[in-house]
Amino acid sequence: MKHTISVLVENKFGVLARVAGLFSARGYNISSLAVSETQDEAVSYMTIVVNAEDEKVLEQIKKQLNKLIDVISVTDFTRKDYIARELILIKIEAKDKIKDIVIKYPAKIIEAKKDYFVIEIMGDENQIKNFMNDIGDFKVIELVKTGKIAMES
């Protein structure tokens, strides 16, 4: 099952490698990872979506993250209200029907060429899932995701 965790870390050289190394060394699965500085430049914010088979594994992941010296705090959103967004860029074949789909979502065509469109969609998990279903019949040329970012609401 997928769980969204946020991790506040010291914005220091090598911190990302420590977090990533912890996951690989202990065989945990990262499904997505987004990292950036915060309003305080000494602190970075990571949103990690992990695939944990059960509560025990999730608990261990949180405890192991907390054990890293550079980790300031760990928040598990599993039983919390939170806001999450993901941004996707999709290069897709140019078909008029796609325009009708895009209108229904927090999405827009940011580039329209003869052969393809580039669509930007930014939304929560459900919106993105539904959108991906709706465009399922068209030929996707390229797709890039940012990974989920999340904060407590």
Partner 1 sequence: MKLSGAQIFIECLKREGVEIIFGYPGGQVLPIFDKLYDAKLKFILTRHEQGAAHAADGYARATGKVGVCLATSGPGATNLITGIATAYMDSIPMVAFTGQVKTNLIGNDAFQEADLTGITRPITKHNFLVKRTEDLAQVIREAFYIASTGRPGPVLVDIPSDVQIKEAEFIWPEKITIRSYNPNYFGHPGQIKKAAKLIEKAKKPIIYAGGGIIISQAEKELKILAEKIQSPVTTTLMGLGGFDETHPLSLKMLGMHGTAYANHAIMEADCIIAIGARFDDRVTGRTDTFAPYAKIIHIDIDPTSISKNIRVDIPVVGDAKNVLRELVEFITKKPDTREWLKTISEWKARHPLKYRKTDGIKPQFIIEEINRQTHGDAIICTEVGQHQMWAAQWYKYTKPRTFISSGGLGTMGYGMPAAIGAQLGCPKKTVFNIAGDGSIQMNIQEMMTAVVNKLPIKIAILNNCYLGMVRQWQELFYKKRYSQTPLCNPDFVKLAQSFGAIGMKITRKSDVKQAIKKALSIKDKPVMIDFRVEREENVYPMVPAGEPINKMISGLA
127 belongs to the binding site for partner 1 (CB under 8 A): no
40 belongs to the binding site for partner 1 (CB under 8 A): no
The contact pattern for partner 1, residues 56-85, with x = CB under 8 A and - = no contact, is x--xx--xx-xx-xxxx-------------
Q: How far is the CB of 76 from partner 1 (least distance, A)?
A: 14
134 belongs to the binding site for partner 1 (CB under 8 A): no
Q: How far is the CB of 144 from partner 1 (least distance, A)?
A: 28
54 belongs to the binding site for partner 1 (CB under 8 A): no
- List the one residue out of 86, 74, 76 whose CA is nearest residue 33: 86
Q: In the complex with partner 1, which residue's Cβ is closer, 54 or 96? A: 54
What token pair was written down for 23?
A: 């996951």
Q: How far is the CB of 72 from partner 1 (least distance, A)?
A: 4
Q: Tokens 């999730």 identify what position?
A: 58
**CB-CB neighbours of 27 under 10 Å:** 7
Strand order across the beta sheet in which 43-51 lies: 29-37, 43-51, 2-10, 71-76
150 in Cβ contact with 3 (< 8 Å): no
39 belongs to the binding site for partner 1 (CB under 8 A): no
**CB-CB neighbours of 16 under 10 Å:** 14
10 belongs to the binding site for partner 1 (CB under 8 A): yes
**CB-CB neighbours of 90 under 10 Å:** 23
- Please give the residue ranges that form the binding site for partner 1 (CB under 8 A): 9-10, 13-14, 17-18, 21, 25, 56, 59-60, 63-64, 66-67, 69-72
